């Protein structure tokens, strides 16, 4: 984790400088908006990483991770989410019933995603519990 | 080493296709995306062969004008949205966690959902072939007003637009996962300036995707709304320019997404096959950061002739791209000098990548100049330029990467002889196909036309190109044969067949579910395995020199 946000924020800053140049010489509202969006997204990524863990802004090599994590091996929910988004958009161009069908699958797969995440969290808690006596 | 304490017994066993299709293992997701991309590459290649057949002579009747428009649109769209870009993301998804010593990808469900969204997008896009009015037919850039519902009616074009939106959504999701993985999961010791060269190129590519692809989604969503009649967003001259501004804000960076990971792959192949660490690493990292950021600020060079942009600024940033590009070539040459060079297929493909990309890059200097671009715009010069960057460049980089990492992915070596034969065939085919385009374009032959005036010189050059395209197809066929032969009659690769530099070579081939079973070697530079070997050599030398 250590230092993870630095590269992203550095890159965002170079972007910002270039976009300011672009704005000075080519002040079109569309260009200003797209450029601002890109800069904001990149900065936001860096800031989110920093908020998750402060060491993201500390330079130097990362230390070993010690906390256990449970690793998912498969996810039907993720597959269905991808496919249902595809079905909804396909339906917009092809046939309206597919939009409703896709939306139904999306709701179900989001439900399944919640279950998957809960069981993952439970596994993690169990692992933490097992580790504690040591 | 990262500690993941999930019980090993519960991890997915490879084999069954339901496991393979729902697996959250980044290697499986990367393989799935790579395999599907490769399928689309073949499809896009077939489209190219049909185009070249139509163009073999001036008045061929293979395709109607409308079918020609469909085929060139779907050729470009399939290659860009469904092969070169997703293959770059596939390589990043498979290799980056291994290279940084991570046991897994961050947010693997998002990556998996992204893969399926992308695949749905690809299928939706190609499904436009099945409609009564035919497939998407307004080019991969689908300019307004040509692509609005008045000028290009029909559900086929709608499906093309929807397909592009899905593809962009999927690849953006997958890119977020790679970005977070690099930020959060590097092995102990792996500071940012110890990340492998490929990982850097992959990181900057996924950052460009995250920053630029949403504009493609926006551009296409607005186009779709316009096409349904629900909105009047892209109207008049201003609307056409707005569309182009949005589109090229994505459209130029994607060119670099389609370049960087292949550059990274070629760079790794050069360093490993020269048995030297990549020369000028820090300069390289700084330069590709500048390179990628600059490439986000040049988009309007696609619009010089519209009269709707400030040409000077974009000519300036576009020409500036030469500086980081020069640093990369300098580093490549520096790596070769004094190296113990082994000319394996991967190395030869990598060197050819650098040489042929030079033609694409240098022709880019010409089209970056507004004055010269007025001459080149809309002609075959542009087609020659971007095929030298994307095909003669990136695809050769892809094959360098394929020969380099195939043993890691499969545990088997590709046949070297077939590899070298493929290279020779493809070099001939590539240059025969794309070099004459410079002459044709300079002579004024427009792109995107199905017929051209009868003119002896144009006929000959076009025929040469068509023959070249056939030779390229032969080269690709040799690669497929090589893959099949190498998987059927396996030559076992072992963990580290090339004396690799980076952590993916410190694990088994293919790697186990959690990537590393043995403890990772210490990471003290961007070439930790090379460090180990050098230490070993030092120790042996000292023992030899020590008095008995
Ligand atoms: Cu460009």
The pLDDT tens digits of the residues spanning B469-518 come to: 999 999 999 999 999 999 999 999 999 999 999 999 999 999 999 999 99
The percent of residues above 70 in pLDDT, for chain B, comes to 97
CB atoms < 10 A from the CB of A97, how many? 9
State how far the Cα of B462 lies from the Cα of B182, in Å rounded to an integer.
Answer: 46
Residue B546 has pLDDT above 80, yes or no: no
Q: Which of B112, B117, B159 sits opposite A93 (nearest CB)?
A: B159
**Cβ B116–A82 below 8 Å, yes or no?**
yes
> Which residues of chain A fall short of a pLDDT of 50?
134
Cβ neighbours of B313 in A, within 8 Å: 21-22, 25-26
How high is the pLDDT of residue A25? 86
Specify the pLDDT at position B532: 95
Mutate which: A3, A35, A46, A79, vs B, most B CBs within 10 A: A79
B492, β-bridge pairs? B412
Within 8 A by CB and 6+ apart from B143, the residues are B240, B243, B244, B247
Cite the DSSP H helix spans in B8-107: 17-22, 26-55, 65-79, 85-99
Max CA-CA distance within chain A? 65
pLDDT of residue B15: 57
Task: Please give the distance, rounded to the nearest whole angstrom, from the Cα atom of residue B302 to the centre of ligand 1.
Answer: 6
pLDDT of residue B4: 39
How far apart are the CA of A87 and the nearest CA of chain B, in angstroms? 8
Determine the pLDDT at residue B13.
47
Per residue in B200-233, pLDDT (tens digit) is 999 999 999 999 999 999 999 999 999 999 989 9
pLDDT on residue A129 = 80
d(CA A64, CA B449): 59
pLDDT of the residue at A132: 56
Residue B175 alpha carbon to ligand 1 centre in Å: 21
pLDDT tens-digit map of B410-449:
999 999 999 999 999 999 999 999 999 999 999 999 999 9
User: How far is B240 from A96, CA to CA, in rounded Å?
Assistant: 29
* Three-state DSSP state, B512: coil
pLDDT digit string, tens, across residues A92-131: 999 999 999 999 999 999 999 999 999 999 988 888 887 6
B315-363 pLDDT, tens per residue? 999 999 999 999 999 999 999 999 999 999 999 999 999 999 999 999 9
Average pLDDT of B245-262?
97
Dist. CA B295–CA B316, nearest whole Å: 12
Q: How open is the CA angle A79-A83-A88, to the nearest 5 degrees?
A: 150
CB pairs under 8 A between A and B: 222
Q: How far apart are CA B448 and CA B341, in angstroms?
A: 43
Q: Does B3 touch chain A (CB under 8 A)?
A: yes
Nearest-CA residue of chain A relative to B171?
A82
Compute CA B460 distance to the chain's CA centroid, rounded to the nearest angstrom.
31
Q: Which CATH number, 2.40.50.100, 3.30.2140.20, 1.20.210.10, 3.40.50.970, labels domain B6-539?
A: 1.20.210.10
Considering only the beta carbons, identify the residue of B109, B120, B249 that sits closest to A86.
B120
Convert B407-432 to b/e letters by CB count within 10 Å (16 or more is b). bbbbbbbbbbebbbbbbebbbbbbbb
Task: Report pLDDT for A131.
Answer: 61
CB contact (8 A) between residue A4 and residue B186: yes
Query: Nearest-CA distance from A74 to chain B in Å?
Result: 4
Q: How far is the CA of B297 from the centre of ligand 1 (A)?
A: 10
Please tell me the distance between residue B496's alpha carbon and the centre of ligand 1 in angstroms. Answer: 38
Q: Which two tokens stand for residue B49?
A: 């062969």
Residue B271 reports pLDDT greater than 60: yes
Query: In chain A, which among 67-86 make CB contacts under 8 A with chain B?
Result: 67-79, 81-83, 85-86
Per-residue pLDDT of B59-77, as tens digits, reads: 899 999 999 999 999 999 9
> What's the pLDDT score for residue A123?
87
Name, in order, each residue with C-beta under 8 angstroms of B183's C-beta and a sequence gap of 6 or more. Answer: A1, A4, A5, A7, A8, A49, A56
Q: Looking at chain B, which residue has its C-alpha nearest residue A42?
A: B211
The domain spans of chain A are 2-51, 76-131
Q: What is the pLDDT of residue A1?
A: 65
- Residues B148-164 have pLDDT tens digits of 999 999 999 999 999 99
Q: What sign for the dihedral angle of Cα B57, B61, B66, B67? A: negative
Pairwise CA distance, residues B309 & B452, whole Å: 31
Question: CB count, 10 Å around CB of A90?
Answer: 24
Check residue B475 and give its pLDDT.
Answer: 98
Residue B404: pLDDT over 90: yes
> pLDDT tier at B11 (50, 70, 90 boundaries)?
very low
Query: Which residues from B are below 8 Å from A70, CB to CB?
Result: 5-6
pLDDT tens digits for range B516-535: 999 999 999 999 999 999 99
Confidence of residue B288 (pLDDT cuts 50, 70, 90): very high
pTM for the complete prediction? 0.95
Through-space distance between the first and last CA atoms of chain B, rounded to whole angstroms: 38
Distance in Å, alpha carbon of B137 to nearest chain A alpha carbon:
16
* Count of H-run helices and E-run strands, chain B: 19, 0
Cα B290 to chain centroid, rounded: 19
3-class secondary structure per residue, chain A:
CCCHHHHHHHHHHHHHHHHHHHHHHCCCHHHHHHHHHHHHHHHHHHHHHHHHCHHHHCCCCCCCCCCCCCCCCECHHHHHHHHHHHHHHHHHHHCHHHHHHHHHHHHHHHHHHHHHHHHHHHHHHHHHHHHCCC
**Which residues are found with C-beta within 5 Å of the ion, ligand 1?**
B 252
| Bridge partner residues of B412 (DSSP) | B492
B208 C-alpha to center of ligand 1: Å? 14
- pLDDT tens for B80-102 read 999 999 999 999 999 999 999 99
Name which of A3, A35, A81 is nearest B191 (Cβ-Cβ).
Answer: A3
Element spanning B333, H or E? helix B322-336
CB A26 within 8 A of CB B314: yes
Q: Does A56 touch chain B (CB under 8 A)?
A: yes
Rounded CA separation B117/B99 (Å) = 26
CA atoms within 13 A of residue B208's CA, in its CB half-sphere: 34
Of A101, A95, A30, residue with least CA distance to B162: A95
Chain B residues with CB-CB distance to A87 below 8 A: 120
B439 CA: distance to closest CA in chain A (Å): 34
pLDDT of residue A69: 81
- Residue B412, phi then psi, degrees to nearest 5: -120, 150
Instruction: Tell me, yes or no, if A96 comes closer than 8 A to chain B by beta carbon.
Output: no
- Chain B window 175-214: which residues touch A at a Cβ cutoff of 8 Å? 179-180, 182-192, 194, 203-204, 207, 210-212, 214
pLDDT at B18: 85
Residues 229-248 of chain B with CB under 8 A from chain A are 242, 245-246
The pLDDT of residue B544 is 85
pLDDT, one tens digit per residue, over B15-29 is 588 899 999 999 999
How far is the C-alpha of B256 from the C-alpha of B85, rounded, in Å?
A: 9
With residue B486 as reference, give the H or E element that holds it: helix B456-488
A71 to chain B: which residues are within 8 Å by CB?
4, 6, 11, 24, 103-104, 514
Residue B1, pLDDT > 50, answer: no
- For chain B, the structural domain boundaries read 6-539
């Amino acid at each position: 984790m250590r230092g993870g946000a630095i590269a992203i924020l550095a890159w965002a800053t170079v972007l910002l400088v270039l976009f300011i140049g672009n704005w000075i010489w080519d002040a079109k509202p569309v260009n200003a908006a797209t450029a601002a969006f890109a800069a904001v997204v990149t900065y936001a990524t860096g800031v989110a990483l920093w908020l998750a863990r402060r060491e993201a802004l500390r330079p130097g090599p990362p230390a070993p991770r010690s906390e256990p994590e449970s690793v998912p091996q498969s996810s039907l929910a993720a597959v269905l989410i991808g496919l249902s988004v595809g079905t909804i958009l396909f339906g917009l161009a092809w046939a309206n019933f597919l939009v409703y069908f896709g939306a139904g699958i999306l709701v179900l797969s989001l439900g399944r995603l919640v279950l998957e995440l809960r069981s993952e969290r439970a596994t993690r808690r169990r692992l933490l519990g097992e580790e504690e006596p040591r | 080493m990262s500690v993941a304490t999930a019980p090993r017994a519960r991890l997915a066993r490879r084999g069954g296709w339901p496991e393979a299709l729902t697996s959250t293992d980044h290697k499986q997701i990367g393989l799935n995306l790579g395999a599907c991309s490769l399928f689309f590459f073949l499809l896009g290649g077939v489209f190219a062969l049909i185009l070249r057949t139509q163009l073999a002579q001036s008045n061929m009747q293979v395709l109607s004008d409308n079918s020609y428009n469909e085929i060139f649109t779907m050729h470009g769209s399939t290659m860009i949205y469904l092969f070169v870009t997703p293959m770059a993301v596939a390589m990043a998804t498979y290799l980056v966690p291994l290279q940084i010593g991570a046991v897994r990808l961050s947010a693997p469900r998002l990556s998996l959902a992204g893969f399926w969204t992308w695949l749905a997008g690809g299928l939706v896009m190609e499904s436009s072939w099945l409609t009564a009015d035919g497939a998407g037919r307004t080019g991969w850039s689908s300019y307004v007003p040509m692509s609005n519902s008045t000028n290009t009616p029909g559900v086929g074009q709608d499906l093309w637009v929807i397909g592009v939106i899905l593809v962009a959504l999927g690849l953006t999701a997958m890119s977020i996962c790679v970005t977070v993985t690099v930020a959060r999961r590097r092995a102990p010791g792996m500071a940012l300036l110890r990340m492998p060269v490929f990982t850097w190129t992959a990181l900057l590519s996924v950052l460009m995707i995250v920053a630029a692809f949403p504009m493609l989604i926006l551009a296409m969503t607005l186009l779709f709304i316009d096409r349904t009649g629900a909105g009047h967003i892209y109207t008049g001259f201003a609307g056409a320019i707005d569309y182009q501004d949005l589109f090229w804000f994505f459209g130029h960076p994607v060119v670099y997404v389609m370049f960087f990971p292949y550059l990274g792959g070629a760079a790794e192949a050069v360093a490993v096959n020269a048995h030297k660490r990549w020369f000028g690493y820090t300069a390289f990292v700084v330069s590709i950061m500048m390179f990628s950021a600059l490439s986000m600020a040049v988009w309007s060079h696609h619009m010089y002739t519209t009269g709707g942009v400030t040409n000077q600024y974009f000519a300036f940033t576009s020409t500036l791209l030469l500086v980081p590009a020069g640093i990369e070539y300098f580093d490549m040459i520096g790596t070769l000098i004094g190296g113990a060079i082994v000319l394996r297929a991967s190395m030869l493909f990598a060197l050819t990548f650098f040489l042929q990309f030079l033609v694409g890059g240098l022709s880019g200097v010409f089209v970056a100049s507004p004055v010269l671009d007025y001459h080149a715009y809309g002609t075959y010069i542009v087609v020659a330029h971007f095929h030298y960057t994307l095909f003669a460049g990136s695809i050769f980089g892809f094959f360098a990467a394929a020969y380099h990492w195939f043993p890691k992915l499969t545990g088997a070596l590709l046949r070297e002889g077939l590899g070298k034969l493929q290279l020779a065939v493809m070099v001939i085919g590539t240059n025969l196909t794309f070099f004459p385009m410079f002459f044709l374009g300079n002579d004024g032959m427009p792109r995107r036309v199905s017929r051209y005036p009868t003119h002896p010189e144009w006929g000959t050059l076009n025929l040469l190109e068509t023959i070249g395209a056939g030779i390229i197809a032969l080269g690709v066929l040799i690669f497929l044969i090589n893959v099949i032969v190498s998987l059927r009659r396996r030559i076992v690769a072992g963990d580290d067949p090339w004396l690799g530099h980076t952590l993916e070579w410190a694990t088994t081939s293919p790697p186990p579910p959690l990537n590393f079973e043995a403890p990772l070697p210490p990471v003290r530079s961007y070439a930790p395995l090379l460090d180990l070997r050098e230490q070993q050599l030092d120790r042996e030398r000292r023992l030899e020199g020590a008095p008995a």
